[in-house]
Amino acid sequence: MAKIKSTGAKALLESLRREGVEIIFGYPGGAVIPLYDEIYHCEFLQHVLVRHEQGGGHMAEGYSHATGKVGVCIGTSGPGATNLVTAICDAMMDSIPMVAITGQVRTEVIGKDAFQEADITGITMPITKHNWLVKDVNDLPRVMHEAFHIARSGRPGPVLVDIPVDVFRAVVEYDPDEVENIEISSFKSDFKVHKVQVKRAAELIAQAKQPVLYVGGGAKAAGAEHLVQALAHKTGFPVTTTLHGLGAFPENDPLSLGMLGMHGTAYANLAVEHSDLLIAIGARFDDRVTGKVSSFAQNAKVIHFDIDPGEINKVRRADVSIVGNCAEALEALLPMVDETQDISEWRAQLDAWRTDMPLEFNDGANDGTLHAEWVIREIARLTDRNVVVTTDVGQHQMWAAQHFGMRSPRQFITSGGLGTMGFGLPAAIGASFGVGPDKDVWCISGDGSFQMCIQELIVATIYKLPVKIAILNNTFLGMVRQWQEMFWQKHYSSVDMERAPDFVKVAEAYGMLGLRCESVDDVEATIRKAMETEGPVLMDFRVVKETNVYPMIPSGQTVGDMIVRKPQQVEEPESTCHYQPRDTRMPVVDEVVDVAR
Q: pLDDT, tens digit, for every residue of 551-580?
A: 999 999 999 999 998 654 444 433 333 444
Concatenating the DSSP letter of every residue in 432-496 gives HHHH-TTS-EEEEEEHHHHTTSGGGHHHHHHTT--EEEEEEE-SB-HHHHHHHHHHSTT---S-B
3-state SS assignment for residue 124? helix
Residue 498 reports pLDDT greater than 90: no
- In whole angstroms, give the CA distance from residue 271 to residue 269: 5
List all residues 6 or more positions away from 344 whose beta carbon is below 8 Å from its beta carbon: none
Specify whether the CB–CB gap between 321 and 200 falls below 8 A.
no
Mean pLDDT of 396-413: 97
Residue 161 reports pLDDT greater than 50: yes
- The pLDDT of residue 185: 66
- In whole angstroms, give the CA distance from residue 96 to residue 416: 11
Residue 581 reports pLDDT greater than 90: no
In degrees rounded to 5, what are phi and psi of residue 504? -65, -45
Mean pLDDT of the chain: 93
Q: How many DSSP H helices and E strands does the chain contain?
A: 24, 22
3-state SS assignment for residue 120? helix
Q: pLDDT, tens digit, for every residue of 91-108?
A: 999 999 999 999 999 999
- In whole angstroms, give the CA distance from residue 66 to residue 63: 5
- The pLDDT of residue 593: 33
- The pLDDT of residue 499: 85
Q: pLDDT, tens digit, for every residue of 170-198?
A: 999 999 999 988 888 666 667 889 999 99
Nearest to 252 by CA among 62, 142, 411, 393: 411
Q: Taking the mean position of all CA atoms in its chain, how far away is CA 302?
A: 25
Burial of 185 by CB count in 10 Å (0-12 exposed, 13-18 middle, 19+ buried)? Answer: exposed
Beta strands 71-75 and 46-49 are unpaired
Q: pLDDT, tens digit, for every residue of 75-96?
A: 999 999 999 999 999 999 999 9
Using 50, 70 and 90 to split pLDDT, how confident is the model at 350?
A: very high
Percent helix / strand / coil, the chain, rounded to 5: 40, 20, 45
Report the predicted TM-score, pTM, of the whole model to 2 decimal places.
0.94
Nearest to 268 by CA among 234, 242, 302: 242
For 528, how many CA atoms within 13 A lie in the half-sphere containing its CB? 5
Residue 535 reports pLDDT greater than 50: yes
Pseudo-torsion of CA 394, 396, 399, 405, nearest 10°? -120
Mean pLDDT of 466-475: 97
Amino acid 130 reads H
Nearest to 562 by CA among 576, 583, 547: 576
- The pLDDT of residue 361: 87
Share of the chain above pLDDT 70, in %: 93
Handedness of CA 148, 171, 162, 309 (dihedral sign): positive
Specify whether the CB–CB gap between 28 and 77 falls below 8 A.
no
List all residues 6 or more positions away from 541 whose beta carbon is below 8 Å from its beta carbon: 370, 372, 375, 470, 471, 472, 473, 517, 523, 526
Q: pLDDT, tens digit, for every residue of 310-343?
A: 999 999 999 999 999 999 999 999 999 998 889 9
Share of the chain above pLDDT 90, in %: 89
Please, what are the domains in the chain?
Answer: 4-180 (3.40.50.970), 195-356 (3.40.50.1220), 372-542 (3.40.50.970)
Q: pLDDT, tens digit, for every residue of 199-233?
A: 999 999 999 999 999 999 999 999 999 999 999 99
Using 50, 70 and 90 to split pLDDT, how confident is the model at 381?
A: very high
